[in-house]
Amino acid sequence: MGILARMEQREPERRYTMADVADKVFEATGAKTKAGTTVTEETALNLSAVWAATRVLTDTVASTPVHVYERLDPRGKQRAPTHPVYRLLHDRANPEMSAFAFKETLQGHAATWGNGYAEKERNGRGEVVALWPIAPHRVTPKRVEVRGKVTKVFEVDVGGSKKVFGSDQIMHIPGFGYDGLMGYSAIRMARESLGLTKAAEEFGGRMFGSGLRAGGVLTHPKSLSDIARKNLRESTEKFSGGLDNAHRMMLLEDGLTWTQTSIPPEDAQFLETRKFQTVEIARWFKVPPHKIGDLERATFSNIEHQSIEFATDTARPWFVRWEQVFNWELFSAGDRGTYFAEFLMDALLRGDSESRSKLHTAMFQVGAASPNDIREIENKNPIEGGDRYYVQGAYVPVDKIDDVIDAKKAPPAAAPKSADPAGGEPFARLRPVLLDAAERVLRRELDELRKAVAKGKVGDWADGFYHQDHAGFAAKRFLPACLVLDPAAGAALAGQMGADWASGSLAELRRALKTGEGVEAVVKRWEAGRAEEWVRSTIERRVA
């Protein structure tokens, strides 16, 4: 248990609550608002919008995983689950609190009071082994001069007496502030807005408590004695107050008349005021209104963007505050250059299944993520062979991409002989892969051909397309099958096959233009079975 907790256990009779201190502080600083209400950090949580905004921030920080990483040389990182700080931030902050509960508590203090404090309990080796939250009203950070050097200390109220602790004993998560010592209390800065919100809430409660009757004046033609005036007031209030008396008729005798004096709720724009104050509170806490239940201006499209903005503009600054404090105050001087803590923001930006699928596909196709990287993000176990990276081009391995680039420049290679010990034919076994590649090549070729026909420039287009572009494209698609067939000569073989495809297409297209057969006839013939025919003839030729 921490030093502060042990000291408080010895003096339980002198402890007092946060509300007691808050009331005294606010009374001294003029916390009474112009709306006539008093607002403190605790009473502000009675307002649903403040409660919701605070919970949004605390839940976000507490539920986002924190991992400790080890830097790799020359770049990169890997998780370090055996480091002592990892357990504090990921599992249990102290024997009584989970890491979630600890982060939730300190973030709640920082979001409302502007500062979150925790005592750092250390073992005999000086390592931080537990973090204990401290109520922020009990802590005052100060700068003092020690041996000619200015340093930051914390004056803590422990059981009614002031104790001074150094930065090595107290961890401090500050919010926005101007002096570099303390963050501003959001509740104190927003007390006029919150006071108006609280006044509107109390107004609504009193209005219903009076049976929805507006205030007014009873007038009597004669003067009344003190006793008569008292009896009249008591009987009138008893008759008109409370929901049980709502909408009951009141009988006036002896010349009494009623004059309404208060403004009706509709004239005071009661509902509009309450709606505006919800948005106002969201603005103070930098939280999108839909996060605290105000969906009046929300749509399916803008909620997604607002959620992204919340992650980048609201949550990320808090994450950076936490990370910088963690990295400076929890790691030893020797560990700071090697180990660091980081929030896993990917958990906050996961999105829906369709969005994640598109992101994973894009990352996979450019070689930025392996199948096992994607499976780890999706919380699935790795698979055998899933650590290899690929790029587009029939998903060619990254370390083989140079062979693809040089494929069309290489001299034609002789067809490899079968090395299958079972006597089977390699090309025949690769038929499904070759057919898929050929269909991809044909689809691209037909798309480009139709564009050229639409422009009326098939002749001018054909030579450049087939000689300069399409042969290389086809070679990239055939390369995976060729590498399986013969890793050493696969690139050259793919280049030859790509050149054969392009030259065959160009020759057939030229004959159609020369004989007047027409391009459309060629397109129909190719669609009917060009890929299948090419694979069949290629296999027969190579096997032979």
Looking at per-residue pLDDT, the higher value among 124 and 171 belongs to 171
Cβ pair 119, 1 in contact under 8 A: no
Residue 240 C-beta-side C-alpha neighbours within 13 Å: 19
Apex CA 495: angle with CA 491 and CA 497, to 5°?
A: 115
pTM given for the model = 0.57
Asked if pLDDT for residue 16 goes beyond 70, the answer is no
Which positions ≥6 away from 153 have C-beta within 8 Å?
Answer: 141, 142, 143, 144, 164, 165, 166, 167
Edge-to-edge strands, sheet with 128-134: 128-134, 115-122, 170-174
pLDDT, tens only, 40-95? 888 788 888 888 999 999 999 999 999 999 998 877 888 999 999 999 999 999 99
Asked if pLDDT for residue 451 goes beyond 80, the answer is yes
Determine how many CB atoms are found less than 10 A away from the CB of residue 2. 19
The β-bridge partners of 144 are 151
pLDDT of res. 307:
79
Q: Is 355 helix (H, G, I), strand (E, B) or coil?
A: helix
Task: Name residue 140's amino acid.
Answer: T
pLDDT of res. 327:
93
Q: Where are the alpha helices (DSSP H) in 95-217?
A: 99-112, 186-189, 191-209
pLDDT of res. 417:
46
pLDDT of res. 248:
56
Tokens of 17: 């609550």
pLDDT of res. 10:
46
Asked if pLDDT for residue 126 goes beyond 80, the answer is yes
DSSP states of 186-210: HHHHTHHHHHHHHHHHHHHHHHHHT
Which positions ≥6 away from 218 have C-beta within 8 Å?
Answer: 232, 236, 252, 256, 257, 258
CA pair distance 167, 174, nearest whole angstrom? 13
133: which DSSP letter? E
**Residue count (the chain):** 544
pLDDT, tens only, 359-393? 778 788 777 888 888 887 776 788 887 888 876 65
Which positions ≥6 away from 528 have C-beta within 8 Å?
Answer: none
Residue 210's pLDDT band (boundaries 50, 70, 90)?
low
Asked if pLDDT for residue 227 goes beyond 90, the answer is no
- The percentage of the chain sitting over the pLDDT mark of 90, rounded to a whole number, equals 21
Residue 13's pLDDT band (boundaries 50, 70, 90)?
very low
DSSP states of 379-448: T----TTTT--EETTTTEEGGGHHHHHTGGGSPP-PPPPP--TT---HHHHTHHHHHHHHHHHHHHHHHH
Burial class from Cβ neighbours inside 10 Å (0-12, 13-18, 19+) for residue 36 reads exposed
Per the prediction, the chain carries an average pLDDT of 77
